[in-house]
Amino acid sequence: MSLRENERLPWRKQRALDAPFDVSHDNQILTFLEWCRINRISERTGWRIIHSPGGPVVTMLSPRRYGITVAANREWQKSRELERV
């Protein structure tokens, strides 16, 4: 067994998006960290957005785990678009 096999990734990297998700499945749930990565925001900013009135609809997966559906993310992104004049 090599030293490399014994190394573990930090938990944040382990929980990150491993494989691409299919955007055509609106009910697919993204974990909080996946949602942050997809929208290219930090975790701190993600929590601030979720706790704000204009944040996306959050699905409670367990008492300590939150997720955002692909559809809810799309709706939230649309609500953030600026109109061009």
Instruction: Give 24-63 as a 3 state SS string.
Output: CCCCCEEEHHHHHHHCCCCHHHHHHHHHCCCCCCCEEEEC
User: What is the pLDDT averaged over residues 64-78?
Assistant: 93
User: What is the pLDDT averaged over residues 35-44?
Assistant: 94
Q: How far is CA 53 from the centre of its chain?
A: 18
Spatial separation of the C-alpha atoms in residues 77 and 55, rounded to whole Å = 10
Q: What integer pLDDT is reported at residue 64 of this predicted model? A: 87
Query: What is the model's pTM?
Result: 0.71
Does residue 20 have a pLDDT over 90?
A: no
User: What is the pLDDT averaged over residues 50-76?
Assistant: 93
User: What is the pLDDT averaged over residues 50-54?
Assistant: 93
Name the residue ranges covered by the structural domains of the chain: 30-85
Spatial separation of the C-alpha atoms in residues 48 and 46, rounded to whole Å = 5
Provide the sign of the torsion angle of the four alpha carbons 45, 47, 50, 54, taken in this order: negative
Higher pLDDT, 73 or 66: 73
User: What is the pLDDT averaged over residues 67-73?
Assistant: 95
Higher pLDDT, 37 or 13: 37
| Residue 66, SS3 per DSSP | strand
